[in-house]
C-alpha cells in the first residue's frame, strides 16, 4: 500500500492511500484532534474525480469536529472516503486494505459506518484494526443508523415545539427526502406519534414501503422541498438547501439527518432571514456517532445513550433560544457553541 500525506491548511492530517492489489483509493481526513482521537464514518462513493472526494472528506471531517464537540464525546473530527462503487467494487480485500490504512494511523482515527458501508463491512475492517466501531457486541453498540433516527426525531420535536408551539408531532406535517436507513426509521417514529408524512426517494421500493407502512404521500425528489408541510427533513445526500432550491421551500422548519444540508454557508443566514428555523445538521444527526463514541470508550449502555439522545433536544433548544436572542442564524450559533466546547476541552487538558 502507498500512502501520501496531503498538505491541507487548517486540517490536522489528511492522507491519501492507494493499493493496486486491492483497488483501494481512499482518503482519511483528520480535521482536529484537540478533544481526542478523531472519530467519524467511512463513506464508499463513486466520486467523479479525486478533487471531489477530497472536498467531501474535508467538509465531512470538519463537520465531525463540531458534531463530536457539541455531542459531548471526547473525540476530534475525522472521516474517510473510499472512491469506489459500493454495489460493484466492494470486496473483503478492499475493506481489509482500508482497515490497514486506518491501522497505519496508530489510533489517530477511529472509523465506523457511513453511506455504502454496512455493519458486516465494519466487522471485516475490524479483523485488521481495532480502530473500527459501530459493531454490535451482544446488544452493546452496533450500527449507528437507528440511533441517528431517534436523535433526529427528538430534534424534529424540539424544532416543532420552538417554532410551532407543538407539544407533540400529532398532526405535524413532515416531508422526508430520502427514506433510507435513517429516513425510514424517522418516518416510523413520526408516524407513530401521529405526524403526517410526505416522502421522496430515487428508490421507488423505499417510497412504496413508506407509503404502505405510514400512509405517506409520495412526491418526486425534486418536489420534496416544495411540499406543503411544516417540516422539511433532508435525509438523502447533502446540499438540498441551495440557492436554486431555497425559493421553493414552503416549510417553516428544516430538520433532517443529512450531513452538509446547506450547500453553501450563506444559506444559514438566508433561512434565518426567511423566518425558517434550521436545526443545524451536525447537532440533530449526532446520536449515531455518540453511540459509536460510547462504544469505543467502553461505556455504552442503552439507558446512557437514551439520556444522551434526549440531550440533543436540550442542545437544539438552547441554540434556537440563543439565535432568537442574538438575532443570528442557528448554524452560526451552533458553530460558536462547538468552538466554546473545544476551547473548554483544551483548557481542561
Ligand atoms: P442511506 O444510503 O441508507 O439512505 C439515503 C437514501 O436517500 C436512500 O434511500 C437513497 O435512495 C436516497 N437518495 C439518494 N440520493 C437521492 C436523491 N437525489 N433524491 C432522493 N433520494 C435520494 O443513508 P442513511 O444512512 O440513511 O443516511 C442519510 C443521510 O444522513 C446521509 O446524508 C448521511 O450522511 C446522514 N447521516 C447518517 C447517519 C447514520 O447513522 N446513518 C449519521 C449522521 C448522518
Per-residue pLDDT of the chain (349 residues; tens, 9 = 90+): 999 999 999 999 999 999 999 999 999 999 999 999 999 999 999 999 999 999 999 999 999 999 999 999 999 999 999 999 999 999 999 999 999 999 999 999 999 999 899 999 999 999 999 999 999 999 999 999 999 999 999 999 999 999 999 999 999 999 999 999 999 999 999 999 999 999 999 999 999 999 999 999 999 999 999 999 999 999 998 899 999 999 999 999 999 999 999 999 999 999 999 999 999 999 999 999 999 999 999 999 999 999 999 999 999 999 999 999 999 999 999 999 999 999 998 777 6
pLDDT at residue 246, rounded to an integer: 98
pLDDT at residue 78, rounded to an integer: 98
94 close to 17: Cβ distance less than 8 angstroms: no
Q: Is the CB of residue 185 below 6 angstroms from any atom belonging to ligand 1?
A: no
pLDDT at residue 346, rounded to an integer: 79
Give CATH for domain 2-62+79-126.
3.40.50.10860
The three three-digit cell numbers of residue 167, written as one number: 407539544
Which letter does DSSP use for residue 243 in this model?
A: T
- Is pTM, for the whole model, over 0.85? yes
> Can 2-62+79-126 and 145-286+315-338 be said to share one CATH topology?
yes
- Determine the Cα–Cα distance for residues 227 and 253; give it in Å rounded to an integer: 12
Is 21 a known active-site residue?
A: no
Kindly list the domain boundaries of the chain, sorted by start residue: 2-62+79-126, 145-286+315-338
Nearest CA to 166 out of 235, 231, 232 is that of 231
143 close to 113: Cβ distance less than 8 angstroms: yes
pLDDT at residue 292, rounded to an integer: 96
Residue 264 CA to ligand 1 centre (angstroms): 19
Residue nearest atom 8 in ligand 1 by C-alpha distance: 180
Q: Is the CB of residue 148 below 6 angstroms from any atom belonging to ligand 1?
A: yes
Residue 149 CA to ligand 1 centre (angstroms): 11
Q: Which CATH superfamily is domain 145-286+315-338 in?
A: NAD(P)-binding Rossmann-like Domain (3.40.50.720)
Catalytic residue chosen out of the listed positions 79, 90, 163, 311: 79
pLDDT at residue 345, rounded to an integer: 82
Amino acid at each position: 500500500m502507498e500512502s501520501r500525506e496531503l498538505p491541507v491548511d487548517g486540517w490536522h492530517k489528511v492522507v491519501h492511500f492507494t493499493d493496486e492489489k486491492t483497488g483501494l483509493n481512499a482518503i482519511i481526513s483528520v480535521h482536529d484532534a484537540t478533544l481526542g482521537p478523531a472519530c467519524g464514518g467511512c463513506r464508499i462513493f463513486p466520486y467523479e474525480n479525486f478533487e471531489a472526494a477530497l472536498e467531501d472528506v474535508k467538509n465531512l471531517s470538519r463537520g465531525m469536529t463540531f458534531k463530536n464537540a457539541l455531542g459531548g464525546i471526547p473525540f476530534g473530527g475525522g472521516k474517510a472516503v473510499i472512491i469506489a462503487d459500493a454495489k460493484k467494487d466492494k470486496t473483503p480485500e478492499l475493506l481489509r486494505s482500508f482497515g490497514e490504512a486506518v491501522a497505519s494511523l496508530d489510533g489517530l482515527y477511529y472509523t465506523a459506518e457511513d453511506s455504502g458501508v454496512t455493519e458486516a463491512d465494519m466487522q471485516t475492517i475490524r479483523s485488521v484494526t481495532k480502530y473500527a466501531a459501530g459493531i454490535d457486541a451482544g446488544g452493546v453498540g452496533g450500527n449507528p443508523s437507528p440511533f441517528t433516527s431517534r436523535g433526529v426525531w427528538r430534534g424534529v420535536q424540539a424544532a416543532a415545539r420552538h417554532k410551532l408551539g407543538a407539544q407533540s408531532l400529532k398532526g405535524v406535517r413532515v416531508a422526508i427526502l430520502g427514506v433510507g436507513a435513517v429516513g425510514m426509521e424517522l418516518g416510523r417514529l413520526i408516524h407513530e406519534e401521529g405526524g403526517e408524512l410526505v416522502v421522496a426517494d430515487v428508490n421507488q421500493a423505499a417510497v412504496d414501503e413508506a407509503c404502505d407502512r405510514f400512509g405517506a404521500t409520495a412526491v418526486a425528489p425534486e418536489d420534496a422541498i416544495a411540499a406543503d408541510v411544516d417540516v422539511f427533513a433532508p435525509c438523502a445526500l447533502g446540499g438540498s438547501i441551495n440557492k436554486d432550491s431555497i425559493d421553493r421551500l414552503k416549510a417553516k422548519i428544516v430538520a433532517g439527518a443529512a450531513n452538509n444540508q446547506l450547500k453553501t454557508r450563506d444559506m444559514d443566514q438566508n433561512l434565518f432571514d426567511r423566518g425558517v428555523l434550521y436545526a443545524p445538521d451536525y447537532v440533530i444527526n449526532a446520536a449515531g456517532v455518540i453511540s459509536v463514541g460510547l462504544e469505543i470508550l467502553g461505556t455504552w449502555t442503552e439507558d446512557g445513550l437514551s439520556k444522551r439522545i434526549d440531550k440533543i433536544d436540550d442542545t437544539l433548544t438552547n441554540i434556537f433560544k440563543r439565535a432568537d436572542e442574538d438575532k443570528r442564524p442557528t448554524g452560526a450559533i451552533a458553530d460558536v457553541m462547538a468552538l466554546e466546547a473545544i476551547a473548554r476541552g483544551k483548557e481542561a487538558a
